[in-house]
Amino acid sequence: MPEPAGAVPPADRFARDLRGFGPLGILTILVILAGGAVTPLLGALLVLAWTRRSGTPWHEIGYVRPASWTRSLVLGIAFGAVFKLLMKAIVMPLLGAEPINRAYHYLAGNQAAIPVTLFTMIVGAGFGEETLFRGYLFERLGKLFGSSVGAKTAIVLFTAIVFGLGHYSVQGLAGAEQATITGLAFGTIFARTGRIWILMFGHAAFDLTAYAIIYWNLESAVAHFVFK
């Protein structure tokens, strides 16, 4: 039996419900966040599946083709590396953090852990966390609260706190503090630009710089570079 004139096709209704905040939309959000809690990579893959199936334009989660991939890569790497060094040498010492990151000190000189660590930092953190915490959460919260300066500020603060809390169980208070500050910086950039690729490159560079400092046992030297 044909549908009444003006009726929304079932496939379109399903996509609309995925984008909305009814029972299916809320369930989808919970599933994606649960996947992200298991691993950011799983959460990000679920975000991509949701974006495609819901018909959400890719640019709404920050997937905008840059004018120059090379420029974005270079800027992202430079920003991430410098930001990490500033955090390690100035910000975290001022917050009273230990020079040694106990949660990841086992990586010092650990050649066997290199492949998994590189994959986790580049794919899991750079791609996964940025897609989930910046791209997806900013899109969902933006749909709820709008795009005013006040709304964007609240979204940046909220996502930074959530990002920080997500690091507490493994890295403790210092890790949560660092992640919150990072979330504020990355979230502010995303709120202003709506573009995610530089942040992905920057996030990966941030973590890889941290890894290099740990691997070559330079944590104390960098942490005491400014404050002896």
Number of domains in the chain: 1
Phi and psi of 18, rounded to 5°?
-65, -35
Q: Which of 5-19, 52-66, 135-149, 175-189 has the lowest mean pLDDT?
A: 5-19
Q: What is the per-residue pLDDT for 3?
A: 47
Note whether 157 and 184 are within 8 A (CB).
yes
Per-residue confidence (pLDDT) for residue 227, from 0 to 100: 87
Give tens-digit pLDDT for 104-133: 999 999 999 999 999 999 999 999 999 999
In a domain, 52, yes or no: no
The answer to whether position 12 is within a domain reads no
Residue 4 maps to a domain? no
Is 32 part of any domain? no
In a domain, 167, yes or no: yes
Which pTM was predicted? 0.92
Q: Flag whether 121 is in a domain.
A: yes
Residue 90 located in a structural domain: yes
Residue 1 has what pLDDT?
A: 43
> Which of the four pLDDT bands, split at 50, 70 and 90, describes residue 9?
low
In this prediction, residue 53 has a pLDDT band, given cuts at 50, 70 and 90, of very high
Establish if 217 belongs to a structural domain: yes
d(CA 122, CA 119): 5
Look up the domain containing 124 and give its range.
67-223
